[in-house]
Amino acid sequence: MDRAGQGAQHIDLLVLPETNLILVASVVEPLRAANRIAGRSLYTWTMFSPDGHAIETKSGIPIPVAGPFRPQRETAPLFVLSSYEWQRSATSQLKMLLSQTARHREMMAGIESGSWLLAETSLLDNFSATTHWEDFEDFAAAYPQVTMVRERFVIDGKRITTGGSLPTLDLMLELIRRAHGYSLALEVSRLFIYEQERTRGDLLQMPAIGNMRILDARVGAAVRLMEETVEAPLTLARLARRVGVSARHLQDLFKDTMGVAPHEHYLALRLNAARRKVIETRMEFADIAAISGFNSSSSFSRSYRAHYRESPSETRRRLKLKS
């Protein structure tokens, strides 16, 4: 799903009855947020149900759909979403449709119990996969031809599986990162942060980008310092000293838990803060550069273009034309 520099990525969603509302939101909301932050349609999607009727979620809130799942030769990724009683939807007709469409799709994903339907249709044979932790052993026993992995989500070539709603959110952030870079994935993840007041030095918690979660208190402290010093960035040595480790050790900790080097995360924070100013204010670019920790307008513009594939002035001009 690497779509950098291309048009919008379209995704088809097949939602089965009795799916949790939060599971659907875990797929769609990160995509919506990515579109909003980018100021353009990076993603589009269409929802289907097996019979074309609105999906009655377990919370009683119906989800409207575009119609019944009747694929032709579509190549867009297909996400199959299910929470409970997937067997009721596993008719011979639906399994036949899934087998047929799999020949053309660039990727198919089993979201939570959707992985059972893919396995039942032999679409996970010889792939690595995961499912909800409560069902893991039963799934492994039922489908020995599938290599089960105890992970929050698994991406194995043209197949993806997830183990629940929050792991699905993690997956979507990873797909956004792969297609559009760490900066955008980080900014999307920050929209889903829930934090109590930091009065007791609580560990920073945020949705994961990929499989990373900030579980190391020293990395959490370093991230907080980065957030607090966007305007005047600290050197790696000073940052490491403030959290009580060596610069080399902090590098290793970041790589292990975040998947990126400290300077990459720091730069993403600063550029995302700058981009919000570019979009939401009429500030001069030189002033935005200064409050984002850049030495000059030219260095800010170079970094901005490298990350967002357009200059700050092009961003404003494009959004002005849309308004």
Last residue of a domain, one of 221, 240, 263: 263
Q: State whether 215 and 174 are in the same domain.
A: no
Residues contacting 213, CB < 8 A, separation 6+: 205, 206, 257
Spatial contact of 228 and 269, defined as CB atoms under 8 Å apart? no
Q: State whether 37 and 168 are in the same domain.
A: yes
Q: Give the chain's length.
A: 323
- Let me know if residue 229 belongs to a domain: yes
Tens-place pLDDT, residues 30-83: 999 999 888 889 999 999 999 999 998 888 899 999 999 999 999 999 999 999
- Let me know if residue 100 belongs to a domain: yes
Q: Residue 121 corresponds to which amino acid? A: T
Q: State whether 301 and 246 are in the same domain.
A: no
Tens-place pLDDT, residues 78-134: 999 999 999 999 999 999 999 999 999 999 999 999 999 999 999 999 999 999 988
- Let me know if residue 76 belongs to a domain: yes
Six-digit token string for 169: 């959110």
- Let me know if residue 83 belongs to a domain: yes
How buried is 231 (Cβ within 10 angstroms: 0-12 exposed, 13-18 middle, 19+ buried)? exposed
Question: How many alpha carbons fall within 13 Å on the CB side of residue 239?
Answer: 30
- Let me know if residue 188 belongs to a domain: no
The strand pair at 78-82 and 108-112 is best described as parallel
Residue 323 banded pLDDT, cuts 50, 70, 90 = low
- Write phi, then psi, for 131 (nearest 5 degrees): -155, 180
Q: Examine the pLDDT at 202 and tell me if it is beyond 60.
A: no
Q: State whether 291 and 259 are in the same domain.
A: no
Spatial contact of 105 and 128, defined as CB atoms under 8 Å apart? no
Q: If you ran DSSP here, which 8-state letter would residue 19 be given?
A: -
Residues contacting 135, CB < 8 A, separation 6+: 113, 116
Six-digit token string for 69: 């799942």
Distances (CA, A) of 11 to 1, 183, 191, 284: 10, 22, 22, 38
- Let me know if residue 257 belongs to a domain: yes
**Can you give the pLDDT at residue 198?**
38
Angle at 167 between CA 262 and CA 136, to 5 degrees: 130
Q: State whether 30 and 173 are in the same domain.
A: yes
Residue 210 banded pLDDT, cuts 50, 70, 90 = very low
What's the mean pLDDT in 203-213? 41
Tens-place pLDDT, residues 269-297: 999 889 989 988 999 999 999 999 999 99
Query: What domain range includes position 313?
Result: 273-322
H/E element holding 264? helix 262-280
Which of 210, 236, 209, 208 is closest to 222 using CA atoms? 236
Q: State whether 88 and 234 are in the same domain.
A: no
How buried is 29 (Cβ within 10 angstroms: 0-12 exposed, 13-18 middle, 19+ buried)? middle
- Let me know if residue 186 belongs to a domain: no
H/E element holding 299? helix 297-308
Q: State whether 76 and 219 are in the same domain.
A: no
**pLDDT, the chain, mean:** 88
Domain of residue 250, CATH code = 1.10.10.60
Last residue of a domain, one of 219, 241, 263: 263
Question: How far is residue 175's CA from residue 23's CA, in Å, rounded to a whole number?
Answer: 16
